Amino acid sequence: MHKLFMISIWITIAITTISCTRIILIMKGVEEPKPETTQSLQQFLNSIDCFPDEFYILRDSSALLEVLKLQSSFPDAEFFDSNGFFLPYDENMEKACNAGIDRYIDQIAANKIMSTSMDNIQARLNCIVNAHSHEGISFSDLPRSDYYVIFYFTKWIGKKVNKEHLISWVNQISSLDEGKNKITYLILSADYMSDWAMDAPKLKIKN
């Protein structure tokens, strides 16, 4: 019963807050969530012209629930300064909307960002593992950078939405990394993984 309850929390949060306008996302090809594998996620990333050297998944279902307490919009991004402290891209914007990210990247390009948060990237890194090696990662493992970015995606949100947002953001950040700002980014799937030790019913999007 406890397992089913946790899954129910995930489905409810993820489906009801996936974007600024849920109806638009459904029209753009949002799929029924289902358990994924590293291979299925790798194939999906390749299909949307995303070819990272590495990508990351959540450690387990408990990590998924922890992330969903902070992150309810997909695709989305979180930014951190050179010391790993969180940089909210728009404190006045609804949590379930990612519309401020493009503008925020422009601010990073102008180097006008300063953190006042004590929330650190290590709390996020504790929840994730390398999708292929399943090894954890710590802040000290990351190259020294001016900024750090975690890009969140889910396969079930569909190709069109991920292409419109995730790929655009990655390209923008990559171009900045070639300039005066050193930027390290991680691509993280918030999908439910098939090898987690939990029985998962079929996940459906309710109209």
Alpha helices in 48-100 (DSSP H): 61-70
Tell me if 124 is assigned to some domain. Answer: yes
| Confidence check: pLDDT of 207 > 60 | no
Looking at the predicted structure, is the pLDDT value of residue 148 above 90? yes
User: Looking at residue 136, what is its pLDDT?
Assistant: 96
pLDDT tens digits for range 91-120 = 554 454 666 687 788 777 777 666 667 889
pLDDT tens digits for 28-59? Answer: 445 567 899 999 999 999 999 999 889 999 99
Q: Which structural domain range is residue 157 located in? A: 2-189
Residue 112 lies in a domain: yes
**Residue 205 included in any domain:** no
Reported confidence tier of residue 123, pLDDT bands at 50, 70, 90: very high
Residue 132 resides in a domain: yes
Phi, psi of 192 (to 5 degrees): -75, 130
Phi, then psi, of 36 in degrees rounded to 5: -120, 165
Distance CA 145, CA 54 (A): 18
Residue labelled with tokens 């889910």: 154
Token pair recorded at residue 63: 């990590």
Question: Per the domain annotation, does 198 fall within a domain?
Answer: no
Residue 69's pLDDT is 81
Q: What is the pLDDT of residue 197?
A: 60
Q: Does residue 144 have a pLDDT over 50?
A: yes
Question: How many domains are contained in the chain?
Answer: 1
Q: Is the pLDDT of residue 89 over 90?
A: no
Task: Pick 16 or 71 by higher pLDDT.
Answer: 71
Residue 206, pLDDT above cutoff 60: no
**pLDDT at position 91:** 59
Residue 194 placed within a domain: no
Q: State mean pLDDT over 70-96.
A: 78
Considering only CA atoms, which of 168, 171, 160, 166 is closest in space to residue 187?
A: 166
pLDDT over threshold 60, residue 202: no
Q: Please write the tens of the pLDDT for every residue from 171-195.
A: 989 888 666 788 999 999 999 999 9
**Could you give the CA distance from residue 151 to residue 176 in angstroms, rounded to a whole number?**
15
Task: Give dist(CA 56, CA 189) in Å, integer.
Answer: 6
pTM of the model: 0.79
Angstrom CA distances, 163 to 47, 72, 167, 168, 173, stand at 10, 19, 5, 7, 15
- What is the predicted pLDDT for the residue at 72? 67
Position 10 scores a pLDDT of 54
